[in-house]
């Protein structure tokens, strides 16, 4: 596919003959097509942003867009035969498909699970980007098959009244959105067969504005029992709240399918003396966005207090910025200097930061190179890296609160106790509570795992079994398909 070719139509006057709906579809498809091109340039990107800006000022465009997708008006080249055999219903999944980040990878995992496992569904699948800005890096890192699927599903023809819309994003993005994004649903709620909000939070409650937005939905899907109870306790209509767990690609995250990444050449040393594969006995890995919520301070304190340069242990942090610059080495050194942690006589236990981009395809190899995974978060929606590590059969130490309580057990992991509930002091969830994981418990658990690797490996093995049994794409695809089928049957008119 060539970006020039795809860019052309917009400049051709004859394509503008049908001014309202067609132009909008064109722009929308164009944005996706241009993004899909492998020869993407900065100039193209700015053009798209301009186009987007221009068209987003029209209030009715999304309705027009959907109307345009009606079968009779479809400009599709590769029409599949026998339209009669196609189910009349659509599931339009709206999510930050092109953004990267939590909701993005979640939404892809649902789409891929459905696409690959539900062979004769009652509905056709459509996708639309919504809820966050596009990231070219992310898009370019997606497998070609996923990109092709994106184009295919983006062209699915849907009729509004037969469409179940899933707004997979934070409620502020739902119609009417509180920031600039394609609204979801793309038009009045009642125009659709049903509208579902799929969201989650990392604190002990849902704020009033979000509760109102949830209650406008026909259903609210959340990933865990923790969310079912926090949403209902916060005032979301209990009859609307449905638990739909998240899938994990257990074939992709399969320890038997990979050789470990060579850690000697991965990450840069920020504290302690360099170890190598010969003198490092125990490798701890953590994966997180650099934010207070993730408890990196708890992790550093526990690790540096428990271990020293003589232990033969190393800690690798795969991290990326969150509303902050990316100089994690200095942040860590600053943190240690300003803390009351005393430097052991044998020197600091080494800490490495991996802040260069690790391609999604190398991620399993990184997990494979570790002996254990640790994440003392204060709160998690789901905890994707935890689940990935578990699928990779790693023993996991993670805070026993919020989303991960859905899957952490004493048999498959090391649930980390917390000292107390603390108030969130900044950001949009100020005043909510989340857990304060125990530094001393974390020290005990890390040491225990290191000294009891046979037990830890057995828990890692159980972890993978649990991930396969509960969250493999086939399992979750069936849960999803059943939930959607129920909705279609209930709302039949
Ligand atoms: C983890 O939390 C659950 C409650 O959510 C509790 O029942 C369980 O005992 C806890 N496990 C550990 C190891 O603290």
Starting at the edge strand that comes first in sequence, how are the strands of the sheet with 414-416 ordered?
268-271, 351-354, 313-321, 282-290, 372-375, 396-399, 414-416
pLDDT of residue 122: 85
The answer to whether the beta carbons of residues 332 and 351 sit under 8 Å apart is yes
Is the Cβ atom of 211 under 6 angstroms away from ligand 1?
A: no
Does ligand 1 come within 6 angstroms of the Cβ of 460?
no
Starting at the edge strand found earlier in the chain, the sheet holding 194-198 runs: 123-129, 89-95, 163-168, 194-198, 219-222, 241-243
Residue nearest to atom 2 of ligand 1 (CA): 400
Q: What six digits make up the tokens of 344?
A: 């052991």
Backbone φ and ψ of 195, nearest 5°: -125, 130
Predicted TM-score (pTM) of the model is 0.83
Q: Is the CB of 410 under 6 A from ligand 1?
A: yes
CA-nearest residue, atom 1 of ligand 1: 400
Query: What b/e sequence results for 417-447 when a residue is b if at least 16 CB atoms lie within 10 Å of its CB, and e otherwise?
Result: ebeeeeebeeeebeebbbbbbbbebbbbbbb
Residue 405 Cα: closest atom of ligand 1: 5
Q: What is the pLDDT of residue 140?
A: 84
Distance 480 CA to ligand 1 centre (A): 28
Give the model's pLDDT for residue 339: 95
Q: Which atom of ligand 1 is nearest to the CA of 226?
A: 5
Q: Check pocket membership of 405 for ligand 1, CB cut-off 6 A.
A: yes
pLDDT tens digit at each of 493 positions of the chain = 333 333 333 232 333 333 343 334 444 544 554 444 333 333 333 333 333 433 333 333 333 333 333 333 344 444 454 445 678 899 999 999 999 888 998 999 999 999 999 877 789 999 999 998 888 888 887 889 999 999 999 999 899 999 999 999 999 999 999 999 999 999 899 999 999 999 999 999 999 999 999 999 999 999 999 999 999 999 999 999 999 999 999 999 999 999 999 888 888 899 998 876 667 789 999 999 999 999 999 999 999 999 999 999 999 999 976 666 668 889 999 999 999 999 999 999 999 999 777 777 889 999 999 999 999 999 999 999 999 999 999 999 999 999 999 999 999 999 999 999 999 999 999 999 999 999 999 999 999 999 999 999 999 999 999 999 999 999 999 999 999 999 998 876 5
Measured from the Cα of 415, ligand 1's closest atom is: 13
**Pocket lining: 437 vs ligand 1, CB cutoff 6 Å:** no
Domains of the chain from N-terminus onward: 89-247+476-489 (3.40.50.2000), 263-470 (3.40.50.2000)
Query: From the CA of 417, how far away is ligand 1's center (Å)?
Result: 8
CA distance 400 to 71: 50
CA of 64 to the centre of ligand 1 (A): 51
**Is the shortest distance between the CB of 415 and ligand 1 below 6 Å?**
yes
Q: Is 308 exposed, middle or buried (0-12, 13-18, 19+ CB in 10 A)?
A: middle
pLDDT of residue 54: 30
Distance of CA 266 from the midpoint of ligand 1 (Å): 35
Q: How far is the CA of 400 from the centre of ligand 1 (A)?
A: 6
What pLDDT is recorded for position 62?
A: 35
Q: Which atom of ligand 1 is nearest to the CA of 410?
A: 13
* β-bridge mates for residue 92, sequence order: 126, 165
Q: How many CB atoms lie within 10 A of CB 197?
A: 28
281 three-class SS:
coil
Is residue 337 within 6 Å of ligand 1 at its C-beta?
no
CA within 13 Å, CB half, 186: 28
444 lines ligand 1 (CB under 6 A): no
CA 430 to centroid of ligand 1, rounded, Å: 26
* For the CA of 414, the nearest atom of ligand 1: 13
* 400 in contact with ligand 1, CB cutoff 6 A: yes
Closest by CA to 378, choosing from 395, 357, 362, 401, is 401
Among 408, 412, 415, 418, which residue has the most ligand 1 atoms within 8 Å of its CB, making it the best to mutate? Answer: 415
């Amino acid at each position: 596919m060539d970006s020039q070719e795809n860019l052309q139509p917009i400049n051709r006057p004859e394509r503008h003959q049908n001014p309202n709906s067609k132009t909008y579809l064109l722009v929308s498809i164009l944005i996706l097509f241009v993004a899909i091109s492998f020869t993407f340039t900065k100039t193209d990107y700015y053009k798209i942003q301009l186009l987007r800006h221009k068209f987003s000022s029209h209030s009715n465009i999304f309705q027009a867009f959907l109307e345009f997708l009606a079968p009779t008006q479809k400009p599709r080249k590769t029409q599949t035969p026998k339209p009669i055999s196609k189910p009349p219903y659509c599931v339009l999944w709206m999510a930050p498909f092109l953004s990267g980040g939590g909701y993005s990878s979640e939404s892809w995992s649902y789409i891929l699970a459905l696409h690959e496992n539900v062979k004769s569904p009652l509905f056709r699948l459509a996708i639309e980007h919504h809820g966050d800005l596009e990231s070219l890096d992310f898009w370019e890192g997606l497998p070609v098959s996923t990109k092709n699927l994106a184009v295919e599903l983006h062209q699915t023809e849907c009729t509004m009244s037969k469409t179940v819309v899933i707004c997979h994003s934070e409620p502020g993005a739902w119609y009417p959105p509180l920031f600039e994004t394609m609204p979801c649903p793309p038009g009045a709620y009642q125009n659709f067969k049903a509208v579902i909000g799929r969201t989650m939070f990392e604190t002990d409650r849902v704020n009033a504005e979000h509760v109102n937005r949830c209650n406008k939905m026909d259903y609210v899907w959340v990933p865990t029992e923790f969310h079912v109870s926090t949403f209902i306790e916060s005032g979301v209509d209990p009859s609307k709240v449905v638990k739909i767990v998240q899938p994990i690609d257990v074939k992709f995250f399969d320890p038997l399918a990979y050789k470990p990444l060579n850690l000697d050449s991965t990450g840069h040393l920020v504290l302690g003396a360099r170890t190598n594969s010969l003198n490092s006995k125990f490798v701890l890995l953590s994966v997180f966005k650099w934010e207070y919520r993730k408890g990196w301070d708890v992790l550093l304190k526990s690790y540096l207090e428990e271990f020293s340069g003589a232990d033969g242990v190393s800690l690798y942090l795969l991290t990326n910025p969150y509303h902050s610059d990316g100089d994690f080495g200095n942040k860590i050194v600053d943190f240690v200097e300003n803390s009351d942690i005393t430097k052991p006589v044998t020197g600091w236990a080494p800490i490495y930061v991996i802040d260069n981009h690790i391609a999604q395809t190398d991620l399993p190899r990184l997990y494979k190179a570790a002996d254990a995974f640790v994440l003392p978060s204060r709160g998690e929606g789901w905890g994707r890296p935890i689940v990935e590590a578990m699928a990779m059969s790693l023993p996991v130490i993670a805070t026993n609160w919020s989303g991960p309580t859905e899957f952490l057990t004493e048999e498959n992991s090391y649930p980390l106790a917390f000292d107390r509930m603390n108030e969130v002091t900044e950001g949009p969830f100020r005043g909510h509570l989340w857990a304060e994981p125990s530094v001393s418990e974390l020290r005990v658990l890390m040491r225990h795992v290191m000294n009891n690797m046979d037990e830890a490996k057995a828990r890692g093995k159980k972890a993978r079994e649990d991930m396969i049994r509960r969250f493999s794409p086939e399992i979750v695809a069936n849960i999803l398909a059943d939930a959607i089928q129920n909705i279609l049957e209930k709302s039949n008119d």
